[in-house]
Amino acid sequence: MSFKNIVDLHTHTDNSFDGNHSTMFLAETAFMKGIRAVAFTDHLEMDAFYNGNFDKTAIQSFFEVAKARSAFNGKLIICVGAELGQAVYDKAVSEKLLDTMKYDFVIGAIHNLPEIQDFYYMDFSDESIDYMKLLEEYFDWELKLAQWAKFDTLAHLTYPLRYIVGNYGKSVDMSKFSEIIDEILITLIRNEKSLELNTAGLRQPIGVTSPDESILRRYKQLGGKLLTIGSDAHYAEHLGAGIDKGYELALKCGFDKIALYQDRTPTLIPIE
């Protein structure tokens, strides 16, 4: 299927430490690809906000995206966004940032447990790592993040699986986490926050979206209505990647609209 309303609300510019292309180049590429709306959501790791220089990149990112937004006015909807990592590890700094910066759209994410490196860098071939225990802690923090709720969408709910299952081939019995995942989904719904369908996994070894079909169905079953979608592109060529597959999955699970955020407010766009 091909869709006309391609919305990609999770992308990174070179104002992210792992980004590769400038905001203007990405905006031009998104426009050329016929994307309808894009959010640039550079990383702000809130547990290292000052010592990781995110206070500087936050400002740089904000102004470059705002500049692109006006340059592409009428051609491409650009949302000024940010991906806040670990916001609940330092709520005071996170809340101060959100009071100061007038974002269109804020993603809430957890990439690492407190005082531990990002799951991305962990070596799960090391048998001494109790990854089920780490996952348990991870989902506890995801719940705390959903309860804090000062973001718009909850990013890649099953993020560690990209590495534990996808890259290291470990098997994870997800039924052990169904109760806490229900609690996270119910908390999002109660707080009127979106769940993100992150399509990066479709181009990674894990081969599925985060979350996958079973959790997406459960979200719908529990009354979830607000869904955002994002490629998590770190390169221009990945802008919009997997959004069509994500839309097919969303439709299959009973979602016929996707949320677009401007000025921290969702608008539901038909998936068509």
Shortest distance (Å) from residue 233 CB to Zn ion:
9
Q: Could you say which of 8, 47, 142, 232 contacts Zn ion (CB under 5 A)?
A: 232
Q: What are phi and psi of 259, to 5 degrees?
A: -90, 135
Q: Nearest Cα to 42, choosing from 21, 6, 69, 17? A: 17
Q: Rule CB under 5 A: is residue 42 a binding residue for Zn ion?
A: no
Residues 59-98: x/- map of binding to Zn ion (CB under 5 A)?
A: ------------------------x---------------
**Closer CB to Zn ion, residue 64 or residue 83?**
83
Task: For tokens 């959004």, name the residue.
Answer: 243
**Closer CB to Zn ion, residue 114 or residue 254?**
114
Q: Nearest Cα to 247, choosing from 234, 235, 231? A: 231
- Classify the C-alpha dihedral 241-17-208-231 as positive or negative: negative
Shortest distance (Å) from residue 241 CB to Zn ion:
13
Q: Which stretch binds Zn ion (CB under 5 A): 90-98, 102-110, 219-227, 258-266?
A: 102-110
Q: Nearest Cα to 228, choosing from 136, 131, 146, 108? A: 108
Q: Nearest Cα to 142, choosing from 111, 170, 164? A: 111
Q: Which stretch binds Zn ion (CB under 5 A): 24-32, 141-149, 183-191, 231-239?
A: 231-239
Shortest Cβ contact with Zn ion: which residue? 109
Shortest distance (Å) from residue 254 CB to Zn ion:
26
Tokens of 165: 């299952």
Q: Which stretch binds Zn ion (CB under 5 A): 17-25, 177-185, 206-214, 225-233?
A: 225-233
Shortest distance (Å) from residue 214 CB to Zn ion:
21
3-class SS shares of the chain: helix, strand, coil, % to 5:
45, 20, 40
Strands 105-109 and 7-11: unpaired
Q: Which stretch binds Zn ion (CB under 5 A): 54-62, 96-104, 228-236, 240-248?
A: 228-236
Rounded Cα–Cα distance for residues 66 and 108 (Å): 20
**Closer CB to Zn ion, residue 71 or residue 143?**
143
Rounded Cα–Cα distance for residues 43 and 213 (Å): 26
Q: Could you say which of 9, 35, 38, 109 contacts Zn ion (CB under 5 A)?
A: 109
Rounded Cα–Cα distance for residues 121 and 47 (Å): 17
Interacting residues toward Zn ion by CB under 5 A: 83, 109, 232
